[in-house]
Amino acid sequence: MPQTGLPARRTAHHLLMQITGEGRLMSELIGAGALASLAPEDRARAQRLATATLRGLDRADRMLKPYLKKTPPDHVMHALRLGVIELCSGEAPHGVVNAYVEIVARNKRTQAMKGLTNAVLRKIAAEGQAGWDSRPVPLTPGWLRQPLVAAWGREAVTAIEAVHFAGAPLDLTAKTDPAAVATATGGIVLPTGTVRLAEAGQVTTLPGYTSGDWWVQDAAAALPVRLLGDVAGQRVLDLCAAPGGKTMQLAAAGAATTAVDISDTRMQRVRDNLARTGLSAETVVSDAFAFDQGGFDAVLLDAPCSATGTIRRHPDLPYAKDGAEFGALMDQQSALIDHALRLLKPGGRLLFCTCSLLPDEGEVQVEEALDRHPGLQITPPPQPLSDIVQDWATPEGGLRLRPDYWADQGGMDGFYIALLTKPA
């Protein structure tokens, strides 16, 4: 990256400062205009650089440690981390070192450390790709790694971290014909029906985007609706609908779909995607608890959660969060399950899921719901899906998906799914 890349580097540095220092997610920062002043090519560069640094942050710190007597201020440390990522990915050392020395020098509080920045990054440049490759896979921050190890064991968490570090391929859900979408886009069809692309490029330029033949949706996120089987003609409620992938799945399957979300901004995205794909669903902007229409054949509740299952696509999450709000989210999940059951007709089905790796947001929620609601039962996946997912079954009857599943094909998000049937 030549010296003309300084605006993108400064923006990437700003993103890291905000994520780790202010606890703001990258999507929030970008939505608030963090990239707005950049040229289009610099926007992509800044986001890509910040994402790569977050994904490899622990490894970058291991490379830097021998050259630092003590940890410098965050402003300097993030410049060094960004420099490590660039130098170890083949960028020209002269331009990289000069750029991050300038970023450090522009801050009055750290300008005295520009010499340190220069010296350390030149030593990193001497190590280069070989030094980077010799370090272990980056570890998840301790506040999250500890409960994950307690839940799944150290070996599984190490495998999960390897998938997180590798990043995610692009997954598409076809409106009607996965095989045709795979042929058009150069992807493969996974056993669950998702189309996966190893190298996607610009999404909006892929064949079938404009004609609405598919939408972007991780393989794990696309699985819950498939557990419902044939929903043609049924009234189905998507209770926390945005960004709308599951709403479109339901509509494409012929369900009379109602999508509810509290955010008008997020719901507009759902409407836009419905329009692009030529699908139809009723959209309602409302707090989930305030929505009181009943008599649904099925309710899909993808409940607000920690999103710890999405780290391979959102590596900022474990650095922006510390788990402090997770207890309140779990209480909300329990209340949402109870509310969703009230919206079902007798004998109706509740599809509960969370994009979380924490059992307290999945397995435990369903165990407690079964205790709270006598007669509530777990419904097994339909054939032939049950044969594909049998290894993911959990003792209480749900499904546990983890990033290290299908790791050789790019993994998947962490998800928990359970299909519950209300007493008739």
Between the CA of residue 211 and those of 63, 200, 208, what are the distances in Å? 47, 17, 5
Query: Cα 127 to chain center, whole Å?
Result: 32
d(CA 64, CA 52) in angstroms, rounded, equals 16
Nearest to 250 by CA among 271, 273, 225: 225
SS3 at position 140: coil
Cis peptide before 384 (omega within 30 of 0): yes
350 dihedral zone (left: phi>0; alpha: psi -120 to 50; beta): beta
Nearest to 84 by CA among 59, 109, 55, 51: 59
Cis peptide before 381 (omega within 30 of 0): no
Q: Active-site residue among 88, 305, 353, 355? A: 355
Residue 298: strand pairing partners = 236, 349
CA atoms within 13 A on the CB side of 280: 3
Q: Residue 19 in contact with residue 26, Cβ under 8 Å?
A: yes
Residue 170: strand pairing partners = 197
88 in active site: no
The token pair at 397 is 């009857």
Which helix H or strand E contains 108, and what residues bound it?
none
Secondary structure letter of residue 393 according to DSSP? B
Nearest to 184 by CA among 203, 202, 208: 208
> Is the sign of the CA dihedral 312, 316, 319, 320 positive or negative?
negative
Show which residues are catalytic.
Answer: 355
